[in-house]
Amino acid sequence: MNAQHLQPTGSAYFIAKETERPENHTLSVLVDNEPGVLARVIGLFSGRGYNIESLTVSETEHEKHLSRITIVTRGTPHVLEQIKHQLERIVPVHRVVDLTVRSHEFGQERPLERELALVKVAGTGEARVEALRLADAFRASVIDANTEHFIFEITGKGSKLDQFIAIMKPLGLVEICRTGVAAMNRGSQGM
Amino acid sequence: MSNGQSERREMTGAEMVVQALKDNGVRHVFGYPGGAVLPIYDEIFQQDEVEHILVRHEQGAGHAAEGYARSTGKAGVMLVTSGPGATNAVTPLQDALMDSIPLVCLTGQVPTSLIGSDAFQECDTVGITRPCTKHNWLVKDVNELAATIHEAFHVATTGRPGPVVVDIPKDVQFAKGFYVPPQIAPRTSYQPKVQGDLEKIKAAVELMAIARKPIIYSGGGVINSGPEASHLLRELVDLTGFPITSTLMGLGAYPASGKNWVGMLGMHGTYEANMAMHDCDVMICIGARFDDRITGRLNAFSPHSKKIHIDIDPSSINKNVHTEVPIIGDVGRVLEDMVRLWRATAKADKKALYPWWEQIAKWRARDSLAFKMNNDVIMPQYAIQRLYELTKDKDTYITTEVGQHQMWAAQHYHFEKPNRWMTSGGLGTMGYGLPAALGVQIAHPDALVIDIAGDASVQMTMQEMSAAVQYKAPIKIFILNNQYMGMVRQWQQLLHGNRLSHSYTEAMPDFVKLAEAYGGHGIRCEKPDELDDAIMEMISVRKPVLFDCRVANLANCFPMIPSGKAHNEMLLPDEATDEAVANAIDAKGRELV
């Protein structure tokens, strides 16, 4: 092949280098609870190359058919602004609030964020005792148990859950289920 | 809108579809029947208020509806069956999404009981069309059908217009339910902002009043906003004395004969338009979106200007280019306020703009659209110029395909009015122009409708010649035939060392015979001195015409902003030697993907 004699190829697209730093933000999205609405939201994220770190969704106002979606996403401030506006274009989307930006406006570092995890740990003897002792320290409650296992329920910030799970690993961790982040801003105002 | 008889009447879903079309003012539907829409076709058969235009391929129905919409300002409507009917509609749906064209697409679906069972001609239509529509619906309850279709028309035509899909299972078409007439009760989550923020408009007017090197950059949003917006744009230009350029989609909003017109901007725009964009101190972007074909290299885009951006879609603001004064609202409404505020507060200091206009005159003197005439071979630019001269005084509508011919048409055909220029800008769909011309001709039966085509593009939807013959739509397909995919070849010359991989069409149909085979009229022209007579013949024939205009095979489209270059680094026609073309992409180009 004489590939080295060929001219380099190019493109008509100018790919700008991102100079801003990416940040994690938590968005609250109020939507009509109708078929396909979640697909519209996550399709937007995958179609436009945005990140989803965590996603939770559930109906919050049954009589108004409203669901609230909480998305933790990562991007530069410019991309985060685009995400908000792109979400607002979706017809069944009522409101989009960047809770992280809102908390900064209130002089706070971040919004209130909580996550729930179910953690199954199996073992006997010393490890079993240690698991129960640590669970107590983390204020995790036992929701199922027999002589060979526990299922703990733990609620808190993501970092607390991460830590608890890491500690349980050598003590016979079997499986984990996490809900993803639920979040709202402090203070009396709604979203 | 609603007639008394249709109030809460019981009818079948299929009847509702036709009634809803009537109640939304629809006169024409472009479509193709199939198993899952037979009940609707049966209803269409039994009435004559809504005329159905039978195309030869669903993609043609979509582009025809787009042409219809673009030339009338109303929603275009297409009707297709499930499965392949719906998938064939995807290209025009995405095309309409990118160019903000109101398009209502009704698709048949397999009966609700069969959905999800991989039934014959089943596809997940709402799933497939979700990212290429503004919104879409699957209607499973006949009692929601009428309200859904009304909402579909509302969503398609308001705010930033766009395509919508209503997917209707066959059992819903047969089922009986109650019809509701259109109501002005939009859902609460969809409230497009049309009125601009007055404080922002005030700030814009103040910025404009002190500008010394201003430019107005207008786009398709002005056309979409309606004729009044174009009128107001002209008024604003007259009041301020500012130069104005436009995107491909915005041509005609300001007349090309207007004294402040500096031509189209962007990759194949004029030198004066791009240089003025680069050097300006205040840029007023009206209904355009800083597309990559417009801006060139982003970090060198108009580095010294403050930017005002009027757009109905908040996501267009600050998407690609940072804006100092963003104004969210309908272009027409915002311009109304802007013109009123300018009259009340600002005095146009047109003298202060003299140096700027002098500079623009110098750029204009470079004559960036010039080309070398040839007495033996028809130059493609010359063909467009003659076409323009011979049709400009008629009631003419122009559509195009995509490629070199499209850019030459934009450069050398001059538009005086909005809604006269139908082209696929965002998606760049080869095969758009012929069916779009059909749609325009159906909407304007007595007008002269010309598709300026390329030999490659036109073969993508050639079958709609048959539809044009059936409906006696005398569309004129003016093919600039150079045997190449000209723009592909031009890029291979620029970017790929002149290795012309598969951009030459070795077997070409005889377009004259092809026209005759369809029942149309064929013309071939090979010599510049025969061109005028041939064009006059094309105009006079009351039949669909395929005009095979044999043009210089290797002509390229200039001026051009090469890859990764800025507005002030254009490649001009007199500088575009073979060597310059081969080296237009420098070492920096290697960094680009």
Kindly report the CATH number assigned to the domain that includes residue A117: 3.30.70.1150
A132/A75 same-domain check: no
A37/A53 same-domain check: yes
Q: For residue A117, what are the contacts with CB-CB under 8 A and spacing of at least 6?
A: A153, A154, A155, A161, A164, A165, A176, A177, A178, A179
CB B411 within 8 A of CB B268: yes
CB B415 within 8 A of CB B445: no
Distance between CA atoms of residues B301 and B564, nearest Å: 11
Helix axes B198-209, B331-345, angle to 10 degrees: 50
Contacts of B134 in chain A (CB under 8 A): 91
B581 inside domain: no
User: What pLDDT band is residue B463 in, cutting at 50, 70 and 90?
Assistant: very high
Q: What is the pLDDT of residue A112?
A: 97
| Residue in B130, B315, B589 nearest the CB of A86 | B315
B136/B20 same-domain check: yes
For chains A and B, what is the number of CB pairs under 8 angstroms?
86
Would you name the residues of B annotated as active-site residues? 58, 120-121, 170, 487
| Residue in A10, A31, A78 nearest the CB of B563 | A10
A88/A131 same-domain check: no
Q: What is the pLDDT of residue B546?
A: 98
B158 → chain A, closest CA residue: A91
Interface test with A, best of B189, B496, B569 (most A CBs within 10 A): B189
Asked whether the predicted pLDDT for residue B191 surpasses 50, the reply is yes
CB A141 within 8 A of CB A152: yes
Q: What is the pLDDT of residue A12?
A: 58
CB contact under 8 A, B315 and A85: yes
B68/B123 same-domain check: yes
A13 inside domain: no
Distance between CA atoms of residues A83 and A87, nearest Å: 6
Interface membership of A89 toward B (CB under 8 Å): yes
Q: What is the pLDDT of residue B583?
A: 75
A139 inside domain: yes
pLDDT above 70 coverage of chain B, percent: 97
| Residue in B189, B313, B499 nearest the CB of A94 | B189
Q: What is the pLDDT of residue B575?
A: 83
CB contact under 8 A, B585 and A10: yes
Sign of CA dihedral B281, B283, B289, B294: negative
A136/A171 same-domain check: yes
B560 inside domain: no
Type of residue found at A27: L
CB contact under 8 A, B131 and A43: yes
Q: What is the phi-psi region of residue B500: left when phi exceeds 0, alpha when psi lies from -120 to 50, beta otherwise?
A: beta
Q: What is the phi-psi region of residue A120: left when phi exceeds 0, alpha when psi lies from -120 to 50, beta otherwise?
A: beta
Residue B480's beta-bridge partner residues? B454, B549
Q: What is the pLDDT of residue A17?
A: 60
A30/A99 same-domain check: yes
Q: What is the pLDDT of residue B77?
A: 98
B348/B387 same-domain check: no
A74/A127 same-domain check: no
A76/A136 same-domain check: no
CB contact under 8 A, B497 and A6: yes
- Residues of A55-81 as b/e, b for ≥16 C-beta within 10 angstroms? bbbeeeeeeeebbbbbbbbebeeebbb
- Across the range A149-153, mean pLDDT stands at 97
- The enclosing H or E element of B204 equals helix B198-209
A37: CATH: 3.30.70.260
B116/B264 same-domain check: no
Choose among A113, A81, A110, A106: nearest CA to A96.
Answer: A81
- The enclosing H or E element of B176 equals strand B176-178
* Segment B77-130, tens digit of pLDDT: 999 999 999 999 999 999 999 999 999 999 999 999 999 999 999 999 999 999
Mean pLDDT in chain B? 95
Tokens 């890491």 map to which residue? A166
A49/A66 same-domain check: yes
Type of residue found at B434: L
B579 inside domain: no
CB contact under 8 A, A91 and B299: no
Interface test with B, best of A1, A14, A17, A69 (most B CBs within 10 A): A14
Q: What is the pLDDT of residue A18?
A: 64
Bridge-based pairing state of the strands B176-178 and A93-98: unpaired
* Segment B404-440, tens digit of pLDDT: 999 999 999 999 999 999 999 999 999 999 999 999 9
A92/A60 same-domain check: yes
Choose among B10, B60, B420: nearest CA to B178.
Answer: B10
CB contact under 8 A, B189 and A89: no
CB contact under 8 A, A14 and B296: yes
Phi/psi of residue A73, nearest 5 degrees:
-130, 165
B207/B336 same-domain check: yes
Asked whether the predicted pLDDT for residue B233 surpasses 50, the reply is yes
pLDDT above 90 coverage of chain B, percent: 89
User: What pLDDT band is residue B563 in, cutting at 50, 70 and 90?
Assistant: confident
Write down which residue in A47, A80, A105 finishes a domain. A105
Distance between CA atoms of residues B138 and B38, nearest Å: 18
List the single range of A150-154, B493-497, B532-536 with lowest mean pLDDT.
Answer: B493-497
Distance between CA atoms of residues B85 and B79, nearest Å: 9
Interface membership of A76 toward B (CB under 8 Å): no
Asked whether the predicted pLDDT for residue B558 surpasses 50, the reply is yes
B153/B24 same-domain check: yes
Contacts of B319 in chain A (CB under 8 A): 82
Tokens 């506006």 map to which residue? A85
A18 inside domain: no
Å between A76 CA and nearest CA of chain B = 13
Note which residues in 99-158 of chain A have CB less than 8 A from chain B.
none
CB contact under 8 A, A78 and B564: no
Write down which residue in A105, A127, A146 finishes a domain. A105
Interface membership of A49 toward B (CB under 8 Å): no
B229/B139 same-domain check: no
Å between B151 CA and nearest CA of chain A = 11
- Across the range A37-59, mean pLDDT stands at 96
- Residues of A93-131 as b/e, b for ≥16 C-beta within 10 angstroms? bbebbbbbbbbeeeeeebbebebbbbbbbbbeeeebebb
A134 inside domain: yes
CB B474 within 8 A of CB B441: yes
A12 inside domain: no
Number of domains in chain A: 2
Write down which residue in A70, A105, A140 finishes a domain. A105
B360: CATH: 3.40.50.1220
In which domain, by residue range, is A85 found?
Answer: 23-105
A32/A82 same-domain check: yes
B213/B161 same-domain check: no
B582 inside domain: no
Q: What is the pLDDT of residue B185?
A: 66
Asked whether the predicted pLDDT for residue B2 surpasses 80, the reply is no
A98 inside domain: yes
Burial class (CB in 10 A: 0-12, 13-18, 19+), A20: exposed
Bridge-based pairing state of the strands B306-311 and B282-286: parallel
Q: What is the ipTM of this complex?
A: 0.90
Contacts of B590 in chain A (CB under 8 A): 8, 10
B110/B209 same-domain check: no
* Segment B279-327, tens digit of pLDDT: 999 999 999 999 989 998 888 999 999 999 999 999 999 999 999 999 9
Contacts of B126 in chain A (CB under 8 A): 36
Q: What is the pLDDT of residue A3?
A: 41
Choose among A61, A71, A64: nearest CA to A41.
Answer: A71
CB contact under 8 A, A92 and B187: yes
DSSP letter assigned to residue B356:
H
Asked whether the predicted pLDDT for residue A4 surpasses 60, the reply is no
A171 inside domain: yes
Number of domains in chain B: 3
B536: CATH: 3.40.50.970
B126 → chain A, closest CA residue: A36
B16/B107 same-domain check: yes
DSSP letter assigned to residue B304:
T
Q: What is the pLDDT of residue B186?
A: 67
B292 inside domain: yes
B530 inside domain: yes
* Segment A109-139, tens digit of pLDDT: 999 999 999 999 999 999 999 999 999 999 9
Question: In Å, how far are B36, B74, B267 from B86, measured between CA atoms?
Answer: 11, 22, 34
Q: What is the pLDDT of residue A10?
A: 55
Phi/psi of residue A121, nearest 5 degrees:
-125, 130
In which domain, by residue range, is B218 found?
Answer: 198-364
Q: What is the pLDDT of residue A15?
A: 58
The four Cα atoms B129, B133, B136, B138 give a dihedral, to 10 degrees, of -20
- Across the range A2-25, mean pLDDT stands at 63
User: What pLDDT band is residue A2 in, cutting at 50, 70 and 90?
Assistant: very low
B326/B427 same-domain check: no
Å between B494 CA and nearest CA of chain A = 9
Q: What is the pLDDT of residue B353?
A: 96
Å between A63 CA and nearest CA of chain B = 15
Contacts of B156 in chain A (CB under 8 A): none
Q: What is the pLDDT of residue B347?
A: 78
Asked whether the predicted pLDDT for residue A43 surpasses 50, the reply is yes
B564 → chain A, closest CA residue: A14
B207/B170 same-domain check: no
Distance between CA atoms of residues B537 and B387, nearest Å: 12
Which 3-state string (H, E, C) describes A28-60?
A: EEEEECCCCHHHHHHHHHHHCCCCCCEEEEEEE
Beta strands in B187-314 (DSSP E): 214-218, 244-246, 261-264, 282-286, 306-311
User: What pLDDT band is residue A6 in, cutting at 50, 70 and 90?
Assistant: very low
Two tokens, residue B406: 């499209």
B565 → chain A, closest CA residue: A14
Tokens 């998305």 map to which residue? A71
Mark out chain B residues that contact chain A at CB-CB < 8 A.
126-127, 130-131, 134-135, 138, 155, 187-190, 267, 292, 296-299, 313-315, 317-319, 491, 495-497, 499, 563-564, 582, 585, 589-590, 592-593
A87/A144 same-domain check: no
Q: What's the Rg (C-alpha) of chain B?
A: 25
* Segment B322-353, tens digit of pLDDT: 999 999 999 999 999 999 999 999 777 889 99
Asked whether the predicted pLDDT for residue B240 surpasses 50, the reply is yes
A66 → chain B, closest CA residue: B189
CB contact under 8 A, B593 and A35: no
Burial class (CB in 10 A: 0-12, 13-18, 19+), B275: buried
A1 inside domain: no
- Residues of B484-514 as b/e, b for ≥16 C-beta within 10 angstroms? bbbbbbbbbbbbbeeeeeebeeeeebebbeb
Contacts of A35 in chain B (CB under 8 A): 138
List the single range of B9-23, B217-231, B342-356 with lowest mean pLDDT.
Answer: B342-356
pLDDT above 90 coverage of chain A, percent: 88
Asked whether the predicted pLDDT for residue B592 surpasses 50, the reply is no
B156 → chain A, closest CA residue: A91
B253 inside domain: yes
CB contact under 8 A, B563 and A12: yes
User: What pLDDT band is residue B4 in, cutting at 50, 70 and 90?
Assistant: very low
B186 inside domain: no
A95/A156 same-domain check: no
